[in-house]
A and B are shown apart, each in its own frame.
Chain A
Amino acid sequence: MTITVPRPKLNWRERLYLPAIVAGLAITFKHFKNLLLGRTKVTMQYPEQKWDTNLPDYYRGAPALVRDEDGRVRCVACQLCEFICPPRAIKIIPGEIPSEDRFAKVEKYPEAFDIDMIRCIFCGMCEEVCPEQAIFLRKDYAITGYTRADMVHHKEKLLEIGGVMHGVVLKWNKKK
């Protein structure tokens, strides 16, 4: 389909371009004046003002391991999250729960669980794939450190960020 674009002939005032330029200058000057008079409130001064209270529920921050209400570390070291993590940021060394322990039915626990935050891309696939509801993505986004070794979160740090999660499915408890 050929469409003819209408090209109107400009009258002499429009061809001079000066009135259009002056109108444009007036618009930009209005923006300049509004900023100087303090009427523009677009910029957020970052460290002093943050938007953490407005983060949506599904915001993907740093990953964390959780405990349930009995105090058990919910992770059973199945290594599914390690398998699915796209940048291979998670490293798990599984260990055996001794048979005298209260939770001997579970049989496996993570002896070491490292997430390298430099590699983590905050995609949330580990949270999606975990069959035990053990790893969740929290709301903090500013992870910093001075060396690369500082930026690896070990199991204690992950448990500390995670805390206790209520309302998870307790599938390893005794049935009634």
Chain B
Amino acid sequence: MDSFFVITSLLKIVGILFIVILPMVSYAVYAERKVSAAIQDRLGPNRVGPAGLLQPIADMFKLLLKEDFTPRAANTFYYWLAPCLAVMPAIITIAVVPFGSTLFGVPMVIADVNVGILFVFAIASLGVYGIVIGGWASNSKYPFLGGIRSSAQMLSYELSLGLAVIPVFLLVGNLRLTSVVRYQIEHGWFIAPFIGDWTNPWKWLLAIPMIVSFLVFTIAIFAETNRLPFDLPEAEQELAGGYNTEYSSMKFSLYFLGEYAAMITGSAVIVTLFFGGWHFPAIPDGSHGWIFGLINIAVFFAKVAIIIFFFMWVRWTLPRFRYDQLMRLGWLFFFEIALVNIFIVAAILPFIQS
């Protein structure tokens, strides 16, 4: 094995995971509190550190020092395993997302597999296990119900998740995420495919199924990460239980941070597929100099931050869905729309490629 590859991969893993993603998760909690406060006409945390920026550190100390108990009736092995299973898919999926172009010749993606998006979907499906095992191993009514509901919701929206982005890959030709970004650089971002080719009427027609695909995919990501308006498994905490009732201290914080990590990963995938990844018009990629490589990374994370703000914005705007409305939407409405969307793009495809 080429030692240069091993060393750069290790650097990328440590750099992206420990220096970017995990702090980003903690500060996503801070950002959620500040954004939700701003929408509700109040200030968020502003006492700990300047403008409350050290609040996640204080929260971390609080959560670490809480009493960590295991209920006697719980199945101990699975009870301890479940929070780890909840966090793991979110963090693994970030390995295939290209967060930059190249930096000193090293491509800024940890694993550029040629089945990129299949990897994302496969690992996202593993996210159901964390919740189901957590709910079942707690050996109590309310976590059980919360876990079952959440797993049913996540399963039904995984269908729409997969089908919604097939149009994108029909256009690109292969499943590699770096190819998706390259295609968007040449042909305009998928959210607005007419940019750069204003006179082509087929590109304008393509925008409609692309926007539908974007909406269905984003809504399915909301449902996959259990965010409002689909957060019935979490909302049960306000009503009764939810799958993390019996969890305390670090295990609870793993569930909680795992949800924010899944939100960040979902935003990263949305940015890569629809908003052009690390590309910004008129900024060349990293092969022209390391400064451009750094700017590309910064542009990617800025776009991810905007999508995360959108997630939080929607959370504090919409009321949550009732469970039967949620399942009806997932199986009847979004599934059919995603299927019809594939046919429409397949029909437009020969005219685009000519």
Interface residues of A (CB under 8 A from B): 18, 21, 24-25, 27-29, 31-32, 34-36, 40, 42-43
Contact = CB atoms under 8 A, between A and B. Distances in A.
A24 B313 CA distance: 10
A29 B215 CA distance: 20
Contacts of B35: 32
B38 A25 contact: no
Interface string B157-178: 0000000000000000000000
Contact of B317 (A18, A25, A34): A25
Interface stretch (B39-47, B137-145, B250-258): B39-47
Contacts of B38: 31-32, 35-36
List the 5 closest pairs (A to B, CB-CB), nearest first. A35-B38, A24-B317, A32-B38, A28-B317, A28-B39
Interface of B: 35, 37-43, 215, 313-314, 316-318
Contacts, number: 33
Contacts of A29: 313
A24 B228 CA distance: 14
Chain A binding surface, main DSSP class? helix
Contacts of B43: 35, 43
Contacts of A27: 317
Nearest to B37: A35
Given A24-B317, A27-B317, A31-B38, 7 more contacts: A18-B215, A28-B313, A28-B317, A31-B40, A32-B39, A32-B313, A42-B41
10 contacts: A24-B317, A25-B314, A28-B39, A28-B313, A28-B316, A31-B38, A31-B40, A35-B38, A42-B41, A43-B42
A40 B318 contact: no
B40 A24 contact: no
Contact of A31 (B39, B215, B314, B318): B39
Nearest to A41: B41
Nearest to A42: B41
A40 B215 CA distance: 33
A28 B43 CA distance: 15
A130 to B, nearest CB: 41
A24 B39 contact: no
Contact of B318 (A21, A32, A34, A42): A21
Contacts of B39: 28, 31-32
A25 B313 contact: yes
